Structure 1
Amino acid sequence: MRSEYNHKFNPDLVEMNEKLRKDVMRTLENYGVRPFSELPDMTEAERSKWFFWNLHENLDNFRKLEPTLIGQIMCTQTTVSEGQSMEPNKSVMEKRLALTCKWHIRLVYSAFQNEEAHTIGEGSVDLLVSDSPPLNPSLRKNQKGYLDSDNSLYPNQLFLYGWVSEAVWDELKQHLYSPSPNCQTDILLRDNYVFPVKAGFDFVVGPPGSIGITNLEFRVSSYSGERRTSRRSETLPR
């Protein structure tokens, strides 16, 4: 599931999208203005709202915390389809990767030389496997995807839509389908590669209130049975 949007580039549509974005931010403001010290006392949905509001409305100060989103991949599904192309007598094959993730936000408190991770909800990831960006909905040049949320659902749902190249898929699939129970693959969205979809950030697009992504990073971790249990509980609370 992902949000649908249309971004034909004209001034009227830009103005309308900005109005819709501000409407979304107003619904999140009461959560976004809370100090980060209250994150442990918030629910997952409240932390998600806190994250989206701060990235949109408090970006410069928010980046000082070096926020990184980490998606623990819990379930993987690959779909291959074949259909007629625009060229006569020629068919095309499409590969898509659907992931179910448990999302966390990791913050670095430089003043205390400490970092913490907080859960912010579950969600799905829809990735096209291709050497060219998707056409519907299309993304900006050098954009890898966008992250959107639906706070009306519980647990809070996050939706990532984007694409990865065939080369990345070839490197990734051996780990996603690894028979080892001690192998964990995560998606990382680092703070210098996520941007608010709003006026002034025209290099990313997405639904109003969403977050544009210019780089997708995958991290594979392998631990011994005992070490994996202790490390996962230390770094990524469930």
Structure 2
Amino acid sequence: MSFRPALIVVDMQNDFCPPDGSLAVSGGRDIVPLINKLLASPRFVLKVLTQDWHPTDHISFAANNPGPNNKPFESFVDVQNLVGKKPEQTMKQRLWPVHCVQGSKGAEIIDGLDISDVRFSVKKGQDPQVEMYSAFSDSFGNLTYGAGGVSHSLAEELVTEQITHVYVVGLAGDYCVKDTALGSAKAGFTTYLVEEAQRCVDPSTWPDVKSALAQGSVTLVSIDGSEVRQVLEP
């Protein structure tokens, strides 16, 4: 099959960007020029955004959990796989400040990002019972639609367009970017994460992130590398 690349721009939202974001990622706005460079390329068959789109009662919000172990960034709670109807399956969920609430200013895409050629936005994390870092599934691997989780089946959209390669950029590198890239690879697409076009909540975890990406068959590439040149050069 011929080279048919897609670009996924992850969670470039006000709440994830300085100076006023409730969960601001240091340097989050600095990657806009690189992302716009990729967005301007006509080589991409499909360009999509993702957005966290949480209800006010989301389980990951520290404010929705009782003290004393409800400190944003620090505390964890046990969550059950209720969406998948497997309550015996549990995981630790890190607690966050309230962020990207549906319809809020914080959930909007930041100014300065050229989204004129974006086909659609995948609104994720809509189920209050579970976090959804990946645009492909929630943290337990479930995929539910509408108010139950996510607005689009991204894998199906990519298959419909006969996409062969997926490029992932955005925020945050150690969470939604990482997990979206891993979800893309798991769905069968050759997947690249452009290193310079992401920023992490905790940059010190980047070596571990790189290891997880490699184990999940995601290739970390440079904006100056051959993989990116083939979508930027005429």
TM range (shorter): under 0.3
Task: Provide TM-score, normalisation by structure 1.
Answer: 0.23
Q: Which has the larger radius of gyration?
A: 1
**Higher strand proportion, which one?**
1
